[in-house]
Structure 1
């Protein structure tokens, strides 16, 4: 695909293929992840070792048991309870060495899963408990990213990674963090985000932040449509001027699903749903995480809105959110969509290409990701399936 705009319906040369043969090849597919939290993707063994070094108590004392605890705690169906699991990961990420290690391991784990482009989002303000300054946190994470990219290259794995600097909604340090993000543009930071408790902390709390970022031509993604509904997405898009929407699955609340006179499926979009689709604003959808937090009424991957939204030509991208808490990976997310929702190779290519065109890098760099890394990998897998 060489179209410079994200669009649904990527089609490879051959037959759309699904099933067990495709599942076996998913690990080898090139992947793009736009919504992956650095503090939600630690290796359980790393959490244990870092916690021991700083004397932080944990709810389990071996890697397997700790992995079980994170997943079970996150399976509550409540975003608030889900967010409480981060108390442990953030507690062990309070030194430059710890931040660099976590960032390096994240890059290596993503590269091993076939990810060729990733954006790691995290909140620098949460990592100051042991004396680091905000700039020092960003530089420590970048050191880890650089080390991870170099080690992955030595293993023959190509990956590019950018930082998404996040402000916590409830802390009201938005402008300070926005200043930090812009200051480190060109030094690893590719965009700005707000995260945390969505309901009750809307973008209109600090309108000047969005004006500042727009005046500096700085990319923005905003968590919206996860714990709050259509009004939250509307503020993200219209006030926050978001280039992408973090999650965004509750846009389905602005769509009426039914049947026409012939009994065929019918979807009637509200004005906001039309706006999001017309402007092809990428939705950073995280199916496994959404089931855990109760972001949608869906209880299974087959019921998750991601498939309907993709069929309606929304700019859908597939993401992991928090690999530790959800015990997931991009390969795992893809596998579940293939086995439980009937996705094909074309469907996986579609969301990957859409994500690449939605990356917070320049146009020529996006094109190179699509043309040099994504499509050749999918064509290779397609050939193996013939």
Structure 2
């Protein structure tokens, strides 16, 4: 295939950033007719270049006026290698379509991600490593810039390099006294990677955050204030929420699915009890639980937390006292123990728009983000991004000799399934 190909490599929809791949003999010349670079230095592989993707009205068939202020979409251009480029821009569909349309009008052919990747690998003679294929499959489903950056690093060999380097080291030290040291160091290194698995496994799949607690404490109102609109129905009658109401959002670059559950209590009708049962199932699968009480139910928090922990003993839990403005001024200092967040989430729009008092919502949002992904990750480090990769890394940490470790590294690199 001699055509120059163009393809959106990241997921369509709500993504904060889009990665558009361009490959072919005419890739550079086509891009130069639409891309106004902020600098005039030569293009080199791996170099990040900032510039503007010109509107059709400001670009011509042959050139553009570099002395004029460019008008168009701000983008980042990265030459990947021979005839291979990536354009990083705003993830909205309109912005992406404008860039792809301009490339197609210049002679490029739009293809699907699978065709694009296979053509690049075939024409450049690049071996299609399973770890790279897995990373590419995850990348096309990333919906935020933060997640896409991690996936991109793996498509460029983050985990693959780690695997190859350790295989070569074990080969060189096989039968030597130093091999024992390598076994210990590899086990520690694999454990470090496993510590990043939550990040990797949630690049394309949103974190599941569930709000749980007794009825009428404002869980639905908290959801509405976090996402900025009335996603959940609110009412001051207990049992208003009868099912798990899900809402997808993005917090600090993390894709998150918020779950608003029925209040935990005994009694209620058959429908309400079914809602409570479904809420318990949502708690059991949550990556993070936000336990919400109010001043009236705070004294029962230990019983409430025990109930929550009976469904999910392992996931992190954030404690929130909602309606904290109702705490009496003469309340005992022990009324709100350390480690609790205080929020004020109103159930009506008038109260919700009153910003005269801090609501605590921003602090709650920040706590959710930092609890789910505590560290500011270095995007260039190796990160396991599939259950299969996590499985073989776990096997490596349990290996006791060089031969077993080398075999498990080979399984990791070869794409061996978990059942093997």
More helix by share: 1
- TM-score, normalised to structure 2, is 0.25
- TM-score, normalised to structure 1, is 0.26
Structure with larger Rg: 2
**Structure having greater relative contact order (Cα 8 Å, sep ≥ 6):** 1
